[in-house]
Structure 1
Amino acid sequence: MAKPVAGSMAAVRRINTSLVLDALRAARGPMRVSALMDRTGLSRPTVEALTEALTAQGWLVESEGAPQPGRRSPGRPARTYEFNAHAGWVLGIDVGAHKVSVCRADLRGTPRAWARHPVSPSTPADERLDVARAAVDDVMADAGAGRIAGNGVDNGAVSGRVGAPDARPAPILAASLATPGVVGPPPHRVLLAPALPDWDEVDFALWARDFLPCPLHVENDANLAVIAEQAVGVARDRQDVVFLLLGQRLGAGIITGGHVLRGHNGAAGEIGYAPLPGSPHPPAGFGPLESSVNADAIVEMVTEEFARPGASTDSPLRRRFSAASDGEHVPAIATSAKEGDPVALRVLYRLCQRLAEGISPMLLVLNPDLVVLGGGISGVGDALRAPLRSALAGRLLFPPDLELSALGDRAVVLGAVHDALTRFEDTTLSVISA
């Protein structure tokens, strides 16, 4: 009988370790060894050895289980084990044209700290990165509560073993950054970002190396938004989803067959650049479709409605528009549409006709089960959803369900969190050796 080689034994041990960790991460509470045996199919000695090693490393928390009702426990209660969600952190970073948002989450993806700093479209790239660094510092300022047995960090790479217990704060184990524009394949440089000056010249890996103890993954913001909706939003259990990120720009995050569609250059979903028949030449850096349906286009449509012969000179919408500053016009439309203002409703009808004409070819090709409306303009709510559903119905063979984002302006940063969590699972957890 041939002796098992060391490599095969290590592989089996890694698989068994993964089975135990997966079972405990999926559990709603602590589990006994017997329950872990049932869940994993492993023997008692194997489970006991793995839980002991993982507890010593800080990945599990051990406690005494409560006695079972109706049964006498002559000895001490059975030990239970729970995945230590505070063994480390994952970071989601959203760097946009108007704001930088950061979320620190535990290893189950539960947000634990938030930071949000304003910027402007004209903010230089280096200053925008400084703001992002400050936001990361903010969310990590009180992160010392989680502890692990050593941080296992070595020059940007997280090792499987975490070493002997000490009192250092739990480490950042994975981080993802969301950005507007086209993000190419590895090394994930921004290839095109007309909304942000000099953004395509940034070396994100070099920037992050100074303060993050793990690699930084960079991804398009709409792609991360659709990941968030599938993980914790209205797209749960959906396998074919299009997320429309509609604000001053227009982009689509696409999940088809359960996987994010990125395209050869990372430009899948850049629907804002689609031609729109009859639309004027777009401003520099904007696509024809997005310049016809964005916030500026809405303001222009409202202005045209006010200029119609016989238009009211003292409507609530006109008063709201007169008092609104930049960024407040869309909420004024939303409020007026909910009140039944005819001008607001006509503008939303025109908007939805344009949007449906622009996105229907993409939807015919992809045939999604669900379209999610996100971004600033989605704040209009049901007053936007109903006319868009009607406009799409006559252009598609199988109109998809249409829902508003459940996550609001946190969709992108939460998508970054869940992307980071996936990378933690694929890297750190996959190489833990108990």
Structure 2
Amino acid sequence: MIKVFRADPALLRRLNVATVLRALYGAEELTFAELVKTSQLSRPTVEEIISDLEQQALAEEVGLAPEGPRPVGRPAKRYRFRPEAGHLAGVDIGPHKVLCLVANLRGDIVASARADVRPEMSAVERLAATRSVIEQAVRGRANVRALGVGITGIVSAGKVVLSSRLPDWEGLDLAAALGSDQSYPVLAGNDTNLATLAEHWRGAAHEADDVVYVLLGRAISLGLLLRGTLHTGYNGGAGEIGVLRESGWYTALDRFLSYGDVDPIGAPASSAAKRVFDAARSGDPTAVSVVNSFVSDIAPGVAAAVLTVDPQLVVIGGGLSQAGDLLAEPLRAELAKRCLFPVTVATSTLGDEAVALGAVRLALNQVEAELFSPDDPHAAR
């Protein structure tokens, strides 16, 4: 007996909507004829879908530019995706700052808010500060569809599993803490992993799919991108080389406190590092020696990661990345001595927004899945 399978009309409809919406999303604007050709759907089907998308404010007809040439005859209808129809946010919750970036549905940043916080703050105080920053950043922005959160420590399924820098956050369910009274989903991840994601999205690793990202700031940590996808490991702890005291990462930042008259108790190593880099640029041999010693401390751990994953690129991120080639050049030389193949070393240009930007990308992944997944009955809501 031959079995006949009937197509699910609702599924077919969602597939068609996703196809048209993705075509619009990937272009500045398209004529109706281009939409029909790109989607390979019938004209009546595309007309019906466009009408629905216009009602949902996700698409609109584009008029002729007043200063543009006037075509002969009836002008072709043109349509565009409306990225301003919704918003998403990404927040970086750190020991010293909370930064929230708000983006439209294409990921373009349209607003931000920031607050300074203290490492000794309780979880309750830090969460309150975070909520305030998010509220300030999204104020006046319609239809917030997702929130990404970056936090120091190991994060799994939205919960903080381990956090040495914010120990009272261990066991905290960030999705529940920041999203229980909101209509949008909350997605959380490790700050270094999200910074790695940001580098691949809009940073130095934009054209690389296999990347070792080294965050050098108030702490040292590592993120891995394999085949264009974050590799976080079974427990979410991939790349946590710094927990091995013999790796050299644990005390590497103290090198900067040994320079000049820096008070090792009162000054954070990241602040002392700026003085060292400034002096090294001026040719101070002592400062150059400090930088080289610091690189020698971190190189074995970075080399171990390079030898493990054989990346196209190593990216130096975090606050110390502002040193540029002062760090990249000696690290490149150290890796050349330790690794089987030459590896490119680049420095990030994203500054201290990298984690928040990665959180935006995390939220955007969720929104794009909602918009384009035929399996989601609420797609293109």
Equivalent residue letter for 1:245: L
Deviation at 1:269, TM superposition (A): 1.2
What residue in structure 2 maps to residue 62 of structure 1?
A: 61
How many angstroms apart in 1 are the aligned matches of 2:100 and 2:132?
A: 10
Q: Matches of 1:344 and 1:177 in 2, distance apart?
A: 37
Code of the aligned partner of 2:257? V
1: distance between equivalents of 2:244 and 2:60?
Answer: 53
- Equivalences for 1:348-387 in 2 at 5 Å? 348-387=291-330
Tell me the CA shift for residue 2 of structure 1: 10
CA contact (8 A) 1:252 1:270 kept: yes
The answer for the alignment partner of 1:289 in structure 2 is 248
Post-superposition Cα deviations, 1:163-195, rounded to whole Å, max 9, x if no partner, equal xxxxxxx211011100111112x2x21111010
List aligned pairs for 1:338-417, cutoff 5 A: 338-417=281-360
1:298 aligns with 2:241: no
The AA in structure 2 aligned to 1:261 is: H
After TM superposition, give the deviation of residue 208 of structure 1 in Å: 1.9
Deviation at 1:205, TM superposition (A): 2.4
How far apart, CA to CA, are the structure 2 residues paired with 1:71 and 1:217? 48
CA distance in 1, matches of 2:139, 2:145: 16
Secondary structure of the 2:19 match is: helix
Alignment counterpart, residue 228 of structure 1, candidates 198, 223, 234:
198
Other-structure match for 1:312: none
Deviations 1:40-86 (A, max 9, x none): 2222111111111110111112233469968511x4x3322111101
Rg larger in structure: 1
The 8 Å contact of residues 370 and 380 in structure 2, kept in 1 or not, is answered as no
- What CA distance in whole angstroms lies between the structure 1 residues aligned with 2:330 and 2:93? 32
Give the match for residue 207 of structure 2. 237
**After TM superposition, which residue ranges in structure 1, 4 or more long, deviate above 6 angstroms?**
1-4
Equivalent residue, structure 1, for 2:51: 52
The question of whether the paired residues in 1 share the 8 Å contact of 2:243 and 2:250 is answered with no
- Structure 2 CA distance for partners of 1:90 and 1:96, relative to 1, 3 Å: same
In the alignment, the residues of structure 1 paired with residue 65 and residue 111 of structure 2 have an alpha-carbon distance, to the nearest angstrom, of: 32
In the TM superposition, what are the counterparts of 1:10-25 in structure 2 within 5 Å?
Answer: 10-25=10-25
Task: Give 1:334's aligned amino acid.
Answer: F
Mapped partners of 1:4, 1:63: distance in 2:
41
Structure 1 pair 51–205 and aligned structure 2 pair: CA distance change class (3 A): same
> What pairs up with 1:5-404 in 2 under 5 angstroms?
5=6, 8-27=8-27, 29-65=28-64, 71-73=71-73, 75=74, 77-143=75-141, 170-184=142-156, 186=157, 188-276=158-246, 289-294=248-253, 296-300=254-258, 302=259, 325-326=267-268, 327-404=270-347
What whole-Å deviation, never above 9, does each CA across 1:111-135 have from its counterpart, x for those lacking one? 0111111112211111111111010
Q: Gaps (5+ residues) in structure 2?
A: none
Question: In structure 2, how many angstroms separate the alpha carbons of the residues matched to 1:210 and 1:10?
Answer: 31
Matches of 1:405 and 1:115 in 2, distance apart? 22
* TM-score, length of structure 2 as denominator length: 0.92
Q: Which amino acid aligns with 2:97?
A: K
Closer/same/farther in 2, CA of residues 2 and 270 from structure 1, 3 Å limit: closer
- State the 1:297 CA deviation: 3.6
3-state secondary structure, aligned to 1:94 = strand
**Judging changes above 3 Å, is the alpha-carbon distance between structure 1 residues 69 and 255 closer, same or farther for their aligned structure 2 residues?**
same
* 1:325-358 per-position Cα deviation (integer Å, ceiling 9, x unaligned): 5453121112111111111100011111111122
Q: Give, in whole Å, the separation in 1 of the partners of 2:63 and 2:170.
A: 54
In the TM superposition, 1:413-428 aligns within 5 A as 413-428=356-371
Q: Aligned partners of 1:112 and 1:385: how far apart in 2?
A: 32
Distance 2:318 2:72 in 1: 58
C-alpha RMSD of matched pairs (Å): 2.3
Distance 1:86 1:70 in 2: 28
Does the aligned pair in 2 maintain the 1:226–1:243 contact within 8 Å?
A: yes
Distance 1:433 1:2 in 2: 33
Distance 2:365 2:86 in 1: 14
| More displaced stretch, 63-72 vs 113-122 | 63-72
Deviation digits for residues 259-300 of structure 1 (CA, Å, limit 9, x no counterpart): 110111000011212342xxxxxxxxxxx6332222x34213
Greater Cα shift, 339-348 or 325-334: 325-334
Percent of aligned positions that are identical: 35
Deviation of the 1:142 alpha carbon: 3.3
Whole-angstrom distance in 2 between the partners of 1:115 and 1:35? 40
Contact 1:171 1:213 in 2 (8 A): no
What count of residue pairs does the alignment treat as equivalent? 373
Q: Distance in 2 between matches of 1:374 and 1:200?
A: 25
Asked if the contact 1:13/1:433 (under 8 Å) is kept, the reply is no
Output the amino acid matched with 1:290: W
Q: If the length of structure 1 is used for normalisation, what is the TM-score?
A: 0.81
User: What amino acid maps onto 2:231 in structure 1?
Assistant: L
Change (3 A) 1:38 1:385: same
Letter in 2 for 1:372: V
Distance 1:328 1:213, change over 3 A: same
